[in-house]
Structure 1
Amino acid sequence: FLLLTLVVLGAPTDEASLTEPARGACKRCCDPLDPSTDAPPLPPSHHHLPYPMPEVRPYINITILKGEKGDRGEPGMPGKWGKEGPRGERGAQGQKGSKGQMGTAGEPCKHQYAAFSVGRKKALHSSEGFQVLIFDTVFVNLYSHFDMFNGKFYCYVGGLYYFSLNVHTWNFKETYMHIMHNEEEAVILYAQPSDRSIMQSQSLMLELQEKDEIWVRLYKRERENAIYSDDVDVYITFNGYLIKPSLD
């Protein structure tokens, strides 16, 4: 579409008004004709109009003319890296992936053990103070965790342990002993005086930490207190072993 806009421009005029012939001039019929009267009348000129005529010029508004879509231009240079936006919401859980390949074989598990079984062939009578029961015979002493010199088991592997103590009582004498956990009395082994000697036992399970100590103590002399044995047979035994090591 073409938009035609009328632009009105003021055109200057040479004469402000048309000159009219003088009135009152007398003409005779035999007078020659005025040459100007024989010619056809001329169209009026705006130079002889008493007012300016508008000048019409066409004006085309190019902005309303839409052409064909051009080709896509070359991509521009990448802009600067923008600031990190806020963290979005957590998406939905995806589907389970396929099973991966088997990995390489790991190192073999480290088995942890602890066990001991010791005995005594000599009888023992109570004294004025507490006595540590010392053993003189070894049946099992895995990794030498039981110290035969001082009669104590030292815990190198923390976990759950089982312990048992077996003794032979003495006729007409009391038997009064404790299985000790460090410096605390864990359980007692006791037998009243009797005219007959018997085998007496005690057992328990304990949760040990590394560096804990387990040992047997004979009570101090307040009454006649003793355990029996001889050089031929082993009447006194003390045993312990690890049931389950700690996870850490």
Structure 2
Amino acid sequence: MEATWLQISLAFLILPLLVFGAPTDESGPQDATTTLRGCKRCCDPLDVSTSESHRGTSPRFSPYVMPEVRPYINITILKGDKGDRGEPGIPGKWGKEGPPGEQGAPGPKGSKGQMGTPGDPCKHQYAAFSVGRKKALHSSEGYQALIFDSVFVNLYSHFDMYKGKFYCYVAGLYFFSLNVHTWNFKETYMHVMRNDQEEVILYAQPSDRSIMQSQSLMLELRENDEVWVRLYKRERDNAIYSDDVDIYITFSGYLIKPALE
């Protein structure tokens, strides 16, 4: 038993000598240094004093050396503080006008206004008249007022039937209309007058047949203005036709809107 253990122990001692060989004196200190220097880590600095530098060759970099890595800086996170607001620049030119937009929604209802001052209790805020004439008329020399003999409407008696004039008691905007029938082979020449000023003319040349002629207008009247119809005779006879049965001549007017005081 003891001889067997002795043989196993000698085998472990002799086996390394057979595999690696016994050390000799041929390898000097320089070879050992070279062997140690030949094994380096990739992260160690390169030693230029190797055996290759002694042979006159350039030092070679190990292919296993890691490249230099530069740190990455995100400049977007290096934002500074907001600066002060600059002065406004010169305004530019006006552009072309755009198309009109759609109508907006109606706004809220406004508050009720204050009560106005009391008006004149004796003053009427309405005016209207409509008169006619049954008789034909031939104008005399010069100017002649057209007088009417029939009344359709004469509110508050603002139209004077004896003078043929409408008197304005309520200032405002009025509408007037005049209708006549011409006479055969006679001229029809008339004016609607405001005070002494001609406003519009109603005219028809002499013809072999009579026709209906009309004229209308709106006037902005002040209080105490007068509106009436005037005939004017020139070289030829001036006449309007009517009979005792039908009314061919009418003159009407009414207040559209009173004036604001």
TM bucket normalised to smaller:
0.5 to 0.7
**Partners of 1:159 and 1:122 in 2: CA distance:** 33
The match for 2:251 is 238
Work out the number of aligned pairs and report it.
146
Would you say the 8 A contact 1:173–1:226 is kept in 2? Answer: yes
Would you say the 8 A contact 2:186–2:239 is kept in 1? Answer: yes
The SS at the match of 1:153 is strand
The match for 1:227 is 240
Query: CA offsets per residue over residues 20-72 of structure 1, 9 Å max, x none?
Result: xxxxxxxxxxxxxxxxxxxxxxxxxxxxxxxxxxxxxxxxxxxxxxxxxxxxx
**Partners of 1:133 and 1:199 in 2: CA distance:** 17
Question: Deviation of residue 221 (structure 1)?
Answer: 3.8
Would you say the 8 A contact 2:124–2:170 is kept in 1? Answer: no
2:153 to 137, 140, 149: 140
Question: Deviation of residue 222 (structure 1)?
Answer: 2.1
Code of the residue aligned with 2:181 in structure 1: it is H
Would you say the 8 A contact 1:121–1:137 is kept in 2? Answer: yes
Code of the residue aligned with 1:113 in structure 2: it is Y
TM-score (norm 2): 0.53
The SS at the match of 2:170 is coil
Question: Deviation of residue 218 (structure 1)?
Answer: 0.4
Query: CA offsets per residue over residues 161-209 of structure 1, 9 Å max, x none?
Result: 0000000000111100000000000000000111110100000000000
**Partners of 2:163 and 2:258 in 1: CA distance:** 25
2:173 to 149, 160, 165: 160
Query: Is 1:214 the counterpart of 2:227 in the alignment?
Result: yes
User: Deviation above 3 Å: which 4+ runs of structure 1?
Assistant: 105-111
**Partners of 2:158 and 2:240 in 1: CA distance:** 25
Would you say the 8 A contact 1:168–1:198 is kept in 2? Answer: yes
The SS at the match of 1:143 is helix
Query: Is 1:176 the counterpart of 2:226 in the alignment?
Result: no
The match for 2:134 is 121
Code of the residue aligned with 1:181 in structure 2: it is R
Code of the residue aligned with 1:165 in structure 2: it is L
The match for 1:66 is none
1:188 to 177, 182, 201: 201
Unmatched 5+ residue regions in structure 1?
A: 1-101
Question: Deviation of residue 224 (structure 1)?
Answer: 1.4
Question: Deviation of residue 220 (structure 1)?
Answer: 2.3
